[in-house]
Structure 1
Amino acid sequence: MENLKLELKNKIVEVLNLEDVAIEEIKDTDPLFGGGLGLDSIDALELIVLMDKDYGIKLADPKKGKDIFESIETMAKYIQENRTK
């Protein structure tokens, strides 16, 4: 699971163009939205696309996204349990 968390951090920085964020600065339990990385609703859409494209996970219920995208930890756990790729 540690490899998946590191992979997620790399992909988030790359896909969302977070040029001033070093991967080492992102803690597994930091909030992705609001405080923490300060992502917004557009970023949430990018994360949904990333999960579909890279892990074969389609989020049918956008409300679940709030829980899934809480942190790197929660994303990795959800991906590990639901991935098809």
Structure 2
Amino acid sequence: MLELEVKNLIIEVLQLEDISAADIDSDAPLFVEGLGLDSIDALELGVALQKRYGITLSADSEDTRRHFASVRALTELIEHARKK
């Protein structure tokens, strides 16, 4: 399941040893509340997504902010990119 894969990628890339995939709500915000990620985390995660899924993201794009809203939003981005 792609959502589980994305959750595990987040845990791996950001070295969140005290969190399991089951602890991450797919609809919870990734930034501020929710996981509480910051801009450095976003950059690291963006690079990992580019490497693993071949997705190109623009740091200052409103679309990118929307895609990084939650695990579900990232999953939808990856699924959309795979259809192209």
TM-score by length of 1: 0.89
1:14-45 CA distance string (max 9 Å, x none): 10001111211111101000100000000010
**Structure 1 runs of 4+ off > 6 angstroms?**
none
Q: What SS does structure 1 have at the residue aligned with 2:43?
A: helix
Instruction: Report the equivalent of 1:68.
Output: 67
CA distance in 1, matches of 2:60, 2:78: 16
Identity level (%) = 46
Give the counterpart of 2:41 among 25, 40, 43: 43
| 1:5-84 equivalent positions in 2, closer than 5 A | 5-60=3-58, 62-63=60-61, 64-83=63-82
Cα offset for 1:61?
5.3
Q: Which moved more, 1:51-60 or 1:30-39?
A: 51-60
Q: Distance in 2 between matches of 1:67 and 1:10?
A: 20
Q: Which runs of 5+ in 2 are unaligned?
A: none
Tell me, in whole angstroms, the C-alpha distance in 1 between the residues paired with 2:59 and 2:21: 29
